[in-house]
Structure formats: C-alpha cells, structure tokens
Structure 1
Amino acid sequence: MYQLFGVYLNEDFDIWGDTIPDIIACYKSDCPRESHLEMVHEINSFMGEHRDDLDSAFKDAYGQDFSPKLWGYTTASFLDELKRLLIE
C-alpha cells in the first residue's frame, strides 16, 4: 500500500485525478492486474491485523501522506472503497 500512498494519494494527488475513483483508475492503468489483487490482499491483512485499532494504525502508517477524513471517509469505509475499486 505504500506505493499507492507514496505516489498517488499524497499532496500531489491532483496529477492523477480529483476523486478517489479517478486516482485509483490511474493507478490501475499504470500497474498490472496482479498488483491490484495484491493490494486487496494487503488491505485485508491490514484490516485484520488492526481490528481494534484501525484508525490509529492507519494514521501511524500513512497519516503523514493521507487522511481519509479529508475525503469524506472513515478509515474502514475508505479501505473498503479501495478494495471495491481495485477489484472492479
């Protein structure tokens, strides 16, 4: 997930799009399908490992680059949306 947040979902996100679906579509066009599925697995693992502290674990790992709240999501709803977009 570090590639996604480090390259696409950072302060320069508008290079890739104005919405999360637009940005993820750009990521998907740049990366092979296998990478999309690996990312879904990473998200599921992260969510499973941090059932009781998802918000703080996400903030610790990615909070310097990205905040789901600024996009109208909770941490859980954002990760669920990422999975949905990556699987489509």
Structure 2
Amino acid sequence: MMPSEHYSQMSLVFRAYFGQDFDLFGNTIPEIVSCYKKDNPQERHNELINEINYFMDEHPNDLDSTFETKYGAEFDPALWGHTTASFLNELNRLLNE
C-alpha cells in the first residue's frame, strides 16, 4: 500500500509535463503522455498507473477537492476539457497503450 501523501510520478506529471511549460512536451494530452513515456522507463509508467488508481480509490468522495489541493496550483483538468476523474482515466488509458 502506498502512503497517501506520496505520489511522486503524479507530482512529476502534473508539475512538469502538464505544468506551465507543458508545450515543451506537446500540445495535446496524447503528445504529452507520449513524451513522458519516452522520457521514463516502463517501471515509472507502472508506478504512475498505480498511483492514479490508488489516488482514485483513496478519494472516491472528494477526488476533485483533493486533486485541487495537491495539484491545483500547477494543473487544472478543466482547462483540458476534462473532470478530474475523466482526466485520470484518460492518462491511465494512454499509459496502458
């Protein structure tokens, strides 16, 4: 089980890849995820998938507010046309391709 305060790959993805300078990695979600996948070994992809799943399982009733608290200063799924849940599900889908 992962400690609830520790989501290192999620922090990396939302602060770096989808942060202020996201366009260094791509202009669409698939392009950015593809860049992440090229930059990181499969082991990190699996960690990110596990972190996303655990985060969603840990916060079924407060997903939006917890996500906003942890990552809202760097990233907002609504700016990409998603809810928190739909964005995390899309990341999982792309990471599993």
Could you say whether these structures have the same fold, taking a TM-score greater than 0.5 normalized by the shorter chain as the test? yes
Establish whether residue 83 from structure 1 lines up as the match of residue 92 from structure 2.
yes
- The aligned residue for residue 50 of structure 1 is 59
Q: Which is richer in helix?
A: 1
TM-score norm. by structure 2 comes to 0.89
Alignment of 1:62-73 (within 5 A): 62-73=71-82
CA RMSD in angstroms comes to 0.5
TM-score norm. by structure 1 comes to 0.98
Moved >6 Å (runs of 4+): none
Q: Secondary structure at the match of 1:51?
A: coil
* Structure 2: gaps spanning 5 or more residues: 1-9
- Fraction of identical pairs, as percent: 57
Q: What is the CA distance between 1:5 and its match in structure 2?
A: 1.2
Number of aligned residues: 88
* Structure 1: gaps spanning 5 or more residues: none
